[in-house]
Amino acid sequence: MQLYLPIAEVSVNGFLLLGLGGIVGFLSGMFGVGGGFLITPLLFFIGIPPAVAVATGSNLVVASSVSGVLAQVRRKGVDFTMGSVMLVAGMMGSGLGIWVFARLTALGQIDLFVQLAYVLFLGMVGALMFQESLRAMLTARRPGVAPVRRAHVHTWVHRMPFKMKFRASGLFISVLPPMMIGAAVGFLSAIMGVGGGFIMVPAMIYLLGMPTKVVIGTSLFQIIFVTAFTTVMHAVTSQTLDMMLAFLLIIGGVVGAQLGTRVGIRLRAEQLRILLAVLVLSVAGKIALDLLLMPAELYSIAPGGGP
Amino acid sequence: MIRLLILLMLAGPVAAQAPPVTERIVSGLSQSRVSITANFDGSEILIYGAVRREAPPPGGEPMEVIVTVEGPAAPLVIRRKERTAGIWINRSSVTIDAAPSFYAVATTGPLDRILTQTEDLRHSITIPRVIRAVGISAEAENAPDFVESLQRLRSREDRYRLDEGFVQFVEETLFRADVVLPANLTEGDYRVRIFLLRDGRVVANQSRIIGVRKAGLERYLFNMANDEPLAYGLASLIIAVMAGWGASAVFRLIR
């Protein structure tokens, strides 16, 4: 089923798009990440122009996140208070990010910066999570030694002012750390064109000490708004949003997200984290290899040139 | 003055003696417009015609035909990756003033045999000639490599094509060429040019236009995205939210 996409101006197989949306939606529902860091490179790969891929990918992330959040709400897996606090800060961070993006574009090195940001952040976050969850799994498996269960570890995060009660997370902490995380994620998502779930999920677990069961829903809740904002911004400023492409990806994505959520519930928290760590590390590894190895094609064509 | 008279005297009898053979092209297209609809999967256009003469063809080399189809042109930037501090990044770039989004050349024989360099320069027939790259040598050393890579990349995507010997030419009168338009087509006016050649020189040419337009749903979405970007963006969002909610509701029902 070949389909001609009106904005991307390429003809692609409709079933391929449904499948891609499904895979990304599945992972999104399972791990509570938006999937932006997966769908954008995948769309490049099948020949969608980069600008269209970024804008349309964010539209897909909105849909799969809504689907995932609704599944999480029913099992009380969303901390709305925490989500809103992070969202407010996230918008501010995103505003700053858009400004920095424009500066870097003017300098002509935005592609390199985005790639380096991917490698650096995905690599760092993936490695930390992998190491931590591996240790947790080994501890759990060792017979006789019962792991020390603490609700959360008290760190510098818990000594800050402006404390607030986050009931769903069972936390009584300062609003500053969630705001800092929200702002950082908003900033990065504006620059990297992603929802920021892969940074937010570990930050919530390790920095805020939120229980894993509310982390996924809360992360998705915040991602909906960040990516909705991005989608409309792209549609208005660059007219690169392809509704036909988005529609097919979305159909696959929402079904995938529902299935992913079901599977995610069955898995244990540390299994979930180790799988997400492997996924994040492999994407980082792929981008790092692209930068390090000699590319098969040295030349690339881009539209423009201007006056 | 005297020179002019001599010239006229010389030219007069020659013209009377052997009137230049006027050979004109009469041509037709299988379709003058191509509609890109949602299930558009490429298209084939047939360019056919005949050579009209008042006198029998002069002897010597047989006549040859070249047919070109050219998509709308746009400026481009070609970038080249170089290794810097261990990683491959875009370093040098070259700006091309205008390169067609699609270009097909179909001929009756090998181009270098049937077309002279001068005529190619005058009529811009071969692929390197239609890529307008004026003054690029100032932008980067080895600038020709960039143009060559543009040709290579576009040929790989089936956007630039040279089909030597693909024009059927019967008794130096009737010709036909089938040109396949790929599925990844850009909207715009496609120019069809037909050249008649003899001894490597163009003796007649004609140009026609095929309008390639998005139609139906493609047209509607494209117009909306450009005319009402905010409404279009919000509509996309609503679709996303509805689909997300719908899937969630359906799955709850199934369980």
Token pair for B103: 């270009």
Residues 101-120 of B with CB under 8 A from A: none
Overall number of domains in chain A:
1
pTM score of the predicted model: 0.74
Residues 6+ apart with CB under 8 A from B67: B47, B105, B106, B107, B167, B175, B177, B179, B192, B193, B194, B195
pLDDT at A306: 46
Q: Find out whether B241 and A62 touch, Cβ atoms under 8 Å.
A: yes
Most confident of A10-19, A176-185, A283-292: A10-19
Asked if residue A298 is part of any domain, the answer here is no
Asked if residue A276 is part of any domain, the answer here is yes
Token pair for B128: 């390197």
Asked if residue B7 is part of any domain, the answer here is no
Average the pLDDT over each of B125-139, B157-171, B221-235 and give the range with the smallest value. B125-139
Asked if residue B72 is part of any domain, the answer here is yes
Average pLDDT over residues B221-235: 86
Confidence of residue B16 (pLDDT cuts 50, 70, 90): very low
Q: Letter for the amino acid at A58?
A: S
Asked if residue B13 is part of any domain, the answer here is no
pLDDT at residue A81 greater than cutoff 50:
yes
Q: What share of chain B is helix, strand, coil (3-state, %, to 5)?
A: 35, 40, 25
User: Do B45 and B148 have their domain in common?
Assistant: yes
Cβ atoms < 10 Å from Cβ of B204: 16
State the residue range of the domain holding A125: 2-141+155-292
pLDDT at residue B60 greater than cutoff 80:
no
pLDDT at residue B12 greater than cutoff 50:
no
Residue in B79, B149, B239 closest to A302 by CB: B79
CATH number of the domain bearing residue B78: 2.60.40.10
C-alpha span between B121 and B103 (Å, rounded): 17
B87 with A9: Cβ contact below 8 A? no
pLDDT at residue A216 greater than cutoff 70:
yes
pLDDT tens digit sequence for A144-156: 554 454 555 556 6
pLDDT tens digit sequence for A171-211: 777 777 788 888 888 887 777 666 677 778 778 887 777 88
Confidence of residue A105 (pLDDT cuts 50, 70, 90): low
A105 touches chain B (CB under 8 A): no
Asked if residue B6 is part of any domain, the answer here is no
pLDDT tens digit sequence for A219-253: 888 888 888 887 887 788 777 788 889 899 998 98
Asked if residue A304 is part of any domain, the answer here is no
Average pLDDT over residues A5-26: 85
- For residue A165, the Cα-to-chain-centroid distance in whole angstroms is 26
Please indicate whether residue B82 or residue B180 has the higher confidence score (pLDDT): B180
User: Do B205 and B247 have their domain in common?
Assistant: no
Residues 40-69 of A with CB under 8 A from B: 59-60, 62-69
CB contacts of A66 in chain B (<8 Å) are 240-241, 243-245, 248
pLDDT at residue B141 greater than cutoff 50:
yes
C-alpha span between A40 and A114 (Å, rounded): 12
Asked if residue A150 is part of any domain, the answer here is no
Q: Find out whether B58 and B21 touch, Cβ atoms under 8 Å.
A: yes
Cβ atoms < 10 Å from Cβ of B241: 18
Residue in A2, A69, A251 closest to B183 by CB: A2
pLDDT tens digit sequence for B73-102: 888 888 887 787 777 877 777 888 788 888
Asked if residue A147 is part of any domain, the answer here is no
User: Do B249 and B180 have their domain in common?
Assistant: no
pLDDT at residue A278 greater than cutoff 70:
yes
Asked if residue A18 is part of any domain, the answer here is yes
| % of residues, chain B, pLDDT over 70 | 88
User: Do B164 and B188 have their domain in common?
Assistant: yes
Q: Find out whether B125 and B66 touch, Cβ atoms under 8 Å.
A: yes
Q: Which helix (H) or strand (E) holds B48?
A: strand B43-53
Residue B241: closest C-alpha in chain A:
A63
User: Do B157 and B107 have their domain in common?
Assistant: yes
The residues pairing with B64 across neighbouring beta strands, listed in sequence order, are: B197
CB contacts of B82 in chain A (<8 Å) are 298
B241 touches chain A (CB under 8 A): yes
pLDDT at B136: 63
| % of residues, chain A, pLDDT over 70 | 85
Residue in A3, A231, A292 closest to B233 by CB: A231
List, as one string, the DSSP characters of A156-211.
Answer: GGGG-SSEEEETTTTEEEESHHHHHHHHHHHHHHHHHTS--HHHHHHIIIIIS---
Asked if residue B5 is part of any domain, the answer here is no
Count of pairs with CB atoms under 8 A, one residue in A, one in B? 185
User: Do B169 and B138 have their domain in common?
Assistant: yes
Confidence of residue A101 (pLDDT cuts 50, 70, 90): confident
C-alpha span between A188 and A199 (Å, rounded): 9
Model ipTM?
0.77
User: Do B82 and B206 have their domain in common?
Assistant: yes
User: Do B82 and B169 have their domain in common?
Assistant: yes
pLDDT at B14: 44
User: Do B145 and B232 have their domain in common?
Assistant: no
State the residue range of the domain holding B233: 216-255
pLDDT at residue B196 greater than cutoff 80:
yes
User: Do B182 and B230 have their domain in common?
Assistant: no
C-alpha span between A242 and B163 (Å, rounded): 34
C-alpha span between A179 and A196 (Å, rounded): 14
Asked if residue A297 is part of any domain, the answer here is no
Helices (H) and strands (E) in chain B, counts: 7, 12
Q: Find out whether A208 and A116 touch, Cβ atoms under 8 Å.
A: no
User: Do B55 and B169 have their domain in common?
Assistant: yes
Average pLDDT value for chain B? 81
A143 touches chain B (CB under 8 A): no
CB contacts of A110 in chain B (<8 Å) are none
Average pLDDT value for chain A? 78
User: Do B137 and B236 have their domain in common?
Assistant: no
Average pLDDT over residues A66-93: 82
Average pLDDT over residues B179-199: 87
Asked if residue A62 is part of any domain, the answer here is yes
Residues 189-218 of A with CB under 8 A from B: none
Asked if residue B89 is part of any domain, the answer here is yes
C-alpha span between B130 and B66 (Å, rounded): 15
pLDDT at B133: 62
Only one residue has tokens 């360099």, namely B117
Give the strands of the sheet with B23-29, arranged side by side.
Answer: B23-29, B43-53, B174-181, B168-170
Overall number of domains in chain B:
2
